[in-house]
């Protein structure tokens, strides 16, 4: 998802600058990073993988570590 920022004010506004910094920090927290673990954050969430023919599969893990897939 592309980052869309609000239009800049005509004159410098410290409050606007602080709000913009907050938006950038939130977008950075929500973005994926190379070289870091991917934590989906919820047991009900899974990783969606797309096969060569376009089929979509959700990968989930059980408490014992067993991996399962289901059509997504």
Per the domain annotation, does 9 fall within a domain? Answer: no
Q: How far apart are CA 55 and CA 59, in angstroms?
A: 13
The pLDDT of residue 1: 61
Q: How far apart are CA 57 and CA 47, in angstroms?
A: 8
Per the domain annotation, does 2 fall within a domain? Answer: no
Q: For 32-60, what is each residue's pLDDT tens digit?
A: 888 888 887 777 778 899 999 999 999 98
Q: For 59-71, what is each residue's pLDDT tens digit?
A: 988 899 999 999 9
Per the domain annotation, does 6 fall within a domain? Answer: no
Per the domain annotation, does 1 fall within a domain? Answer: no
Per the domain annotation, does 25 fall within a domain? Answer: yes
Per the domain annotation, does 55 fall within a domain? Answer: yes
* Structural domain harbouring 66: 14-35+46-71
- Structurally, how many domains does the chain consist of? 1
Q: How far apart are CA 72 and CA 60, in angstroms?
A: 11
The pLDDT of residue 30: 82
Q: How far apart are CA 21 and CA 2, in angstroms?
A: 17
The pLDDT of residue 6: 80
């Amino acid at each position: 998802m592309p980052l869309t920022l609000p239009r800049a004010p005509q004159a410098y506004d410290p409050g606007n600058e602080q709000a913009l910094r907050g938006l950038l920090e939130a977008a950075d927290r929500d973005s994926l990073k190379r070289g870091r673990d991917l934590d989906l954050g919820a047991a009900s969430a899974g990783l969606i993988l797309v096969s060569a023919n376009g089929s979509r599969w959700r990968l989930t893990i059980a408490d014992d570590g067993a991996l399962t897939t289901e059509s997504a």
